[in-house]
C-alpha cells in the first residue's frame, strides 16, 4: 500500500513537471508569434525604408554608367558616387540585420549591457516610416546623459515595439480630432532603475477596461488588428527582468510605462 502511494506521488510530480514544461513551451511560442506579428505590422514601412536606398543606388549606378557616354568622366565624381552607393548598401544591410536579429528566438540570450539611447533609436528605426506614411508625429526623448541597461536586448525591444504599435493604432483610430502623435521616452530613476514611457494622443483606455488590458486575449481592437496577446506577453517578458509594465493613470494621455532595474 505504501509503495502504491509512493508511486502515485511520483506519477503526480512527473505529470505536473510535464504540464509546466508544456506551459513554458507554449509561452515561448506565443512570444515568438507576437514578435512575428509585430514584424508583419511593420512590413510596409520596412519595404519603404529599403526601397528608398535602392532607388539611390540605381540612380548612382546610372550616373556612373552614363558618364563615359556623355564625355563627362570625372574620377572624383565617380568616387563620390561609389562612396554614396557603398554607404547606402551598408544602410540596407543594417536594416536587414536588425530585422533578422529581432525575429530570432531570444529567450536564451544572456543579459548584456546596452546603451538605452541606442536601444531606443533602434526600436524607433523600425517604426519611423510607418508613422510618417500615416501622418503620425513620432516624438523621441532620450536622456541628456546616456547610460547602460543590463537586459535581454531584443526582448526589451519587442516590448517597446509592441507598445509603439498599440499607441500608433490608438492615435490613428482616435475620434478626438487632434493631430495624431506618439511619444516614447526614457529616463534614469534615482532608485537605480530606468523608466520607459509610451504616450499617445488617442481616446484613452476606458476606466472599466483598465483592470483587464493585461489579461491574455483581451483586446479592444478589431480582429484584423490583433489577437490581444501583446500586453500579456510583454508583461511576461518584463517579469523575469524583475521589472514592471503598467498603465500610468497619473498622465492625462494614455501612458504605458516599463520600469526595469539597471542591473
- Kindly report the pTM of this predicted structure: 0.64
pLDDT winner (highest mean) among 19-23, 38-42, 221-225, 258-262:
258-262
Q: Are both 118 and 235 inside the same structural domain?
A: yes
The enclosing domain of 171 has a CATH number of 3.30.565.10
Q: Are both 86 and 112 inside the same structural domain?
A: no
pLDDT-derived band at 226, boundaries 50, 70, 90: very low
Burial label for 188, CB within 10 Å (0-12, 13-18, 19+), is middle
136 pLDDT more than 60: yes
6 pLDDT more than 70: no
Q: Are both 243 and 114 inside the same structural domain?
A: yes
pLDDT in tens, 164-182: 988 998 999 888 888 999 9
Q: Are both 125 and 65 inside the same structural domain?
A: no
Number of domains in the chain: 2
How many whole angstroms separate alpha carbon 190 and alpha carbon 201? 29
How many whole angstroms separate alpha carbon 239 and alpha carbon 261? 11
How many whole angstroms separate alpha carbon 238 and alpha carbon 213? 16
Select from 48, 74, 102 the last residue of a domain.
102
Q: Are both 161 and 222 inside the same structural domain?
A: yes
Cell of 156: 526589451
Lowest-pLDDT range of 45-59, 95-109, 225-239: 95-109
Cell of 209: 477596461
Q: What is the mean pLDDT of residues 137-148?
A: 93
The enclosing domain of 25 has a CATH number of 1.10.287
Cell of 11: 506519477
Q: Are both 128 and 223 inside the same structural domain?
A: yes
Strands 254-261 and 193-200, by their bridges, are antiparallel
Q: What is the mean pLDDT of residues 26-47?
A: 60
Q: What is the pLDDT of residue 179?
A: 93
Q: What is the mean pLDDT of residues 103-132?
A: 83
Better pLDDT: 53 or 148? 148
Q: Are both 96 and 173 inside the same structural domain?
A: no
- Average per-residue pLDDT for the chain: 79
For residue 88, give its domain range: 2-102
Lowest-pLDDT range of 70-79, 90-99, 121-130: 90-99
State percent of the chain over pLDDT 70. 73
Q: Are both 187 and 247 inside the same structural domain?
A: yes
Better pLDDT: 106 or 123? 123
Better pLDDT: 1 or 125? 125
Q: Are both 148 and 52 inside the same structural domain?
A: no
Q: Are both 116 and 184 inside the same structural domain?
A: yes
Select from 43, 78, 102 the last residue of a domain.
102
Select from 41, 75, 102 the last residue of a domain.
102
Q: What is the mean pLDDT of residues 207-216?
A: 74
Q: Are both 76 and 181 inside the same structural domain?
A: no
Q: Are both 39 and 151 inside the same structural domain?
A: no
Amino acid at each position: 500500500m505504501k509503495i502504491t502511494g509512493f508511486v502515485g506521488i511520483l506519477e503526480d510530480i512527473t505529470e505536473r513537471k510535464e504540464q509546466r514544461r508544456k506551459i513554458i513551451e507554449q509561452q515561448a511560442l506565443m512570444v515568438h508569434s507576437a514578435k512575428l506579428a509585430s514584424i508583419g505590422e511593420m512590413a510596409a514601412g520596412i519595404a519603404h525604408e529599403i526601397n528608398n536606398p535602392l532607388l539611390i543606388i540605381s540612380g548612382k549606378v546610372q550616373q556612373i554608367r552614363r558618364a563615359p557616354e556623355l564625355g563627362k568622366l570625372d574620377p572624383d565624381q565617380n568616387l563620390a558616387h561609389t562612396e554614396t552607393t557603398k554607404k547606402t548598401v551598408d544602410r540596407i544591410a543594417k536594416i536587414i540585420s536588425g530585422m533578422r536579429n529581432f525575429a530570432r528566438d531570444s529567450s536564451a540570450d544572456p543579459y548584456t549591457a546596452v546603451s538605452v539611447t541606442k536601444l531606443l533609436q533602434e526600436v524607433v528605426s523600425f517604426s519611423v516610416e510607418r508613422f510618417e506614411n500615416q501622418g503620425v508625429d513620432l516624438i523621441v526623448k532620450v536622456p541628456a546623459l546616456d547610460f547602460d541597461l543590463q537586459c535581454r536586448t531584443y526582448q526589451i525591444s519587442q516590448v517597446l515595439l509592441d507598445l509603439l504599435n498599440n499607441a500608433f493604432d490608438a492615435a490613428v483610430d482616435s475620434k478626438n480630432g487632434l493631430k495624431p502623435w506618439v511619444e516614447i521616452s526614457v529616463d534614469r530613476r534615482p532608485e537605480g532603475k530606468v523608466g520607459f514611457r509610451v504616450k499617445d494622443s488617442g481616446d484613452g483606455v476606458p476606466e472599466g477596461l483598465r483592470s483587464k488590458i493585461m489579461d491574455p486575449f483581451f483586446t479592444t481592437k478589431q480582429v484584423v488588428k490583433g489577437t490581444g496577446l501583446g500586453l500579456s506577453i510583454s508583461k511576461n517578458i518584463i517579469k523575469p527582468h524583475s521589472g514592471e509594465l503598467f498603465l500610468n493613470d497619473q498622465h492625462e494621455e494614455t501612458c504605458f510605462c516599463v520600469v526595469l532595474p539597471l542591473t
